Amino acid sequence: MDSVDGLLKRLEQLNDIGASLSKERDITRLLERILLAAKTITNADGGTLYRMMEDGQTLRFEILRTDSLDIAMGGTSGSPISFPNLPLCDETGAPNDSLVAAYAAIHVETVNIADAYTEPNFDFSGTRHFDERTGYRSKSFLAVPMKNHEGEVIGVLQLINAQAPDSQDVVSFSMADQSLAESLASQAAIALSNRLLMTQLEELFESFINLINLAIDEKSHYTGGHCQRVPTLTMLLAEAVAETTEGPLASFTMDDRDRYELKIAGLLHDCGKITTPVHVVDKATKLQTLFDRVHLIDTRTEVLKRDAELHALRQQLALRPCVNPQAEAELFAAGQAAIESLDADREFVRAANIGGEAMSESALERVRQIGSQRLWRNVDGVETEFLTANEIENLTIRAGTLTLSERDTINHHIVATIKMLEQLPWPKHLKNVPEYAGGHHERMDGKGYPKGLTRDQMSVQARVMGIADIFEALTASDRPYKPGMKLSQAVGIMKNFKAIGHIDPDLFDIFLKKGIYQRYAEQFLDPGQIDEVSL
């Protein structure tokens, strides 16, 4: 029988266990802690924790421990449980009352057995076979149902072979053991139900996030992959920073809540793109709007070629009936030259329309000359400049395919992201999501957007996401306006960004030192993009 002091000590243990269970976020570790706590508080040699499956008709083995045999299965042990699940009904649909754990779940009552070998009401043949194989002697059993707040059985806690505190002899589970185990089972069921509810809410929340990303993906398949790759790269770099034990970032750490917060921020970092016009997001060429207007220029070119040919033929006909072969040949040659000039200008315009890293001043001037000096007769019969002012503006974009106004439209997505995220009633452990997600276009020198923050004004997480966003964009092979860069080229550009104060230098050093770029490349880049990187 327990002494008063011993019972008080075990009650204190029970309180401490209940408090620790409520803090555990991982379901697997929570289940393991429940079983280990029950074994400790009842001084049991072994135990098993079962969870009710979704069908409500089967108990599934989750955790199994037997100290004297050094058996650890399920949970964090890394060893799978090889035993079959326990059905609550037999083939005829009758209750499976012959199994202790099943009986406890079916009848929602605790079963306390002094000796399995002499117990007539339950089938312990499987236990006997186990003992024969291992040399163990299964004796006392305590099976306690775990009920949630709605009174539903969500699991069973089964303990084996209570041990006397002094001699370690196997004894029966006392009434005090049973009461403590039932109290623990009740606390554990609440903790497990709460954790499962939180997990379901988190899954629902992440499903809504994926719904937003799916909507963006449906608008533009060029951005859907980005919304998935950036969070992955963000977490790879953040974990590497957290593992760093020296240098200026040695004090940076993350717990599970921090990781989840950063993960959510990564998934939502571009949610504002849902407001961005798709023809701007997908602008693959300089003249593209809802369609690529270079085809209009093709049409105008063909019209001018036709006009040149007609003009030459009219001049030739004007020479008749006086036949002048030399004059006709000269006119024909002039017509051909005009056509060739038009073809050359068209090819130049088509090349300029593609967009690239930079466009020379002479190329920009040639666009302007083609646009203003060539004239064509439009569908109304009016002679007008070959290129409109808007077409000239687009074709003289120095780099890329976006005009300043279109770039502002694209950049507005981060403002929309911040506005959207700041409208949500974030719980305490997710309160930094708007800051993390909203800062990935800021620069360390304060020249970024939308707020012009400097390095000291930004969190490490936001700076990490900035590097992830840039590197993903450089290497992405699904952009409409460029092929994915080779790894060495992207790293080279990132090195330049570090030098000019665009990205965090300390984070980028870890990005290189820990080989984050290589790990990301192996997971997401085409083999042809992966080449040797000089560090």
pLDDT of residue 162: 95
Closest among 195, 181, 197 to 17, alpha carbons compared = 181
309 sits in which H/E element: helix 294-318
Domain span at residue 459? 220-281+406-529
pLDDT in tens, 275-316: 766 666 666 677 777 667 777 788 788 888 888 888 888 887
Please name the residues in contact with 89: beta carbons below 8 A apart, sequence gap of 6 or more.
57, 95, 96
Map tokens 């959207």 to a residue. Answer: 420
Inter-helix orientation angle 460-475/516-524, to 10°: 50
| pLDDT at 322 > cutoff 70 | no
Please name the residues in contact with 510: beta carbons below 8 A apart, sequence gap of 6 or more.
237, 240, 241, 244, 249, 516
pLDDT in tens, 412-469: 778 888 888 889 899 898 999 999 998 888 999 999 888 999 999 999 999 999 999 9
| pLDDT at 1 > cutoff 50 | no
Q: Residue 208 domain-assigned?
A: no
If asked whether residues 370 and 430 sit together in one domain, one would say no
Q: Residue 204 domain-assigned?
A: no
> What CATH number should be reported for the domain holding residue 105?
3.30.450.40
Average the pLDDT over each of 125-139, 259-273, 282-296 and give the range with the smallest value. 282-296
Amino acid at 288: Q
pLDDT in tens, 355-366: 766 788 999 999
Q: For the chain, what's the residue count?
A: 535
DSSP assignment of 178-240 equals HHHHHHHHHHHHHHHHHHHHHHHHHHHHHHHHHHHHHHHHHH-HHHHHHHHHHHHHHHHHHHH
Token representation of residue 51? 């969870």
Q: Residue 381 domain-assigned?
A: yes
Amino acid at 85: N
pLDDT in tens, 150-173: 888 988 999 999 998 877 899 999
If asked whether residues 390 and 429 sit together in one domain, one would say no
Q: What is the number of other CB atoms lying within 10 angstroms of the CB of residue 358?
A: 8
If asked whether residues 121 and 252 sit together in one domain, one would say no
* Cβ-contact 449, 443 below 8 angstroms: no
Specify the pairing of strand 153-163 against strand 170-171: antiparallel
If asked whether residues 193 and 133 sit together in one domain, one would say yes
pTM of the prediction? 0.62
| pLDDT at 222 > cutoff 80 | no
Q: Residue 213 domain-assigned?
A: no
If asked whether residues 374 and 467 sit together in one domain, one would say no
If asked whether residues 424 and 392 sit together in one domain, one would say no
| pLDDT at 274 > cutoff 80 | no
73-77, 493-497, 528-532, range with greatest mean pLDDT: 493-497
* Cβ-contact 445, 500 below 8 angstroms: yes
* Cβ-contact 112, 101 below 8 angstroms: no
423 sits in which H/E element: none
285 sits in which H/E element: none
CA dist., res. 451 & res. 438, Å (int): 9
Reported as a pLDDT band with limits 50, 70 and 90, residue 489 is very high
**Among 399, 415, 445, residue at a domain's last position:** 399
If asked whether residues 98 and 240 sit together in one domain, one would say no
Q: What is the number of other CB atoms lying within 10 angstroms of the CB of residue 476?
A: 21
If asked whether residues 64 and 152 sit together in one domain, one would say yes
CA dist., res. 307 & res. 370, Å (int): 17
Q: Residue 210 domain-assigned?
A: no
Count of structural domains, the chain:
3
If asked whether residues 352 and 441 sit together in one domain, one would say no
CA dist., res. 325 & res. 50, Å (int): 103
pLDDT in tens, 71-98: 999 988 888 888 889 999 988 889 999 9
If asked whether residues 27 and 150 sit together in one domain, one would say yes
If asked whether residues 118 and 242 sit together in one domain, one would say no
If asked whether residues 473 and 362 sit together in one domain, one would say no
